[in-house]
Amino acid sequence: SQQGEEDPQALSIQEGENATMNCSYKTSINNLQWYRQNSGRGLVHLILIRSNEREKHSGRLRVTLDTSKKSSSLLITASRAADTASYFCATDARTSGSRLTFGEGTQLTVNP
């Protein structure tokens, strides 16, 4: 299986609810990043968590990282219809300048 696998593949919730997406990976990482992609658009960087961090917050986003389980989760609180997008985790294996390895993504739909 691939480095960076997200689950669920698709998630549909009501506005105001929380959305949790999970990501697993296989190799050692330097950091893990979450990106959002609106349909047909580019990737927007949301948050980066380093391998020595366990939790990070940014606005309505909360990311956790468990390096012993090689997994991460992205929580979006109080979701809005505008949060509808695909969310990808991406791992960075080296200290600087290395490739990102993306997961399959979770398609989040927030219904008004």
Partner 1 sequence: EPEVTQTPSHQVTQMGQEVILRCVPISNHLYFYWYRQILGQKVEFLVSFYNNEISEKSEIFDDQFSVERPDGSNFTLKIRSTKLEDSAMYFCASTRGEGNQPQHFGDGTRLSIL
- Of residues 17 and 27, the one with the C-beta less far from partner 1: 27
Q: Single out the residue of 19, 76, 90, 108 in contact with partner 1 (rule: CB under 8 A).
A: 90
Q: Single out the residue of 15, 22, 43, 62 in contact with partner 1 (rule: CB under 8 A).
A: 43
Cα dist. 23→3, 11, 27, 66, 110 in Å?
Answer: 9, 14, 13, 10, 20
What is the phi/psi pair of residue 83, to 5°? -80, -10
By CB under 8 A, residue 54 contacts partner 1? no
By CB under 8 A, residue 26 contacts partner 1? no
Whole-angstrom distance, CA of residue 83 vs CA of residue 16: 11
By CB under 8 A, residue 45 contacts partner 1? yes
- Of residues 7 and 17, the one with the C-beta less far from partner 1: 7
By CB under 8 A, residue 97 contacts partner 1? yes
The two three-digit tokens of residue 17, written as one number:
């609810």
By CB under 8 A, residue 24 contacts partner 1? no
Burial of 21 (0-12, 13-18, 19+ CB in 10 A): buried
Residue 61 near residue 47 (C-beta atoms within 8 A): yes
Residues in contact with partner 1 by CB under 8 A are: 2, 4, 30-31, 33, 35, 40-45, 48, 50, 88, 90, 92, 95-105
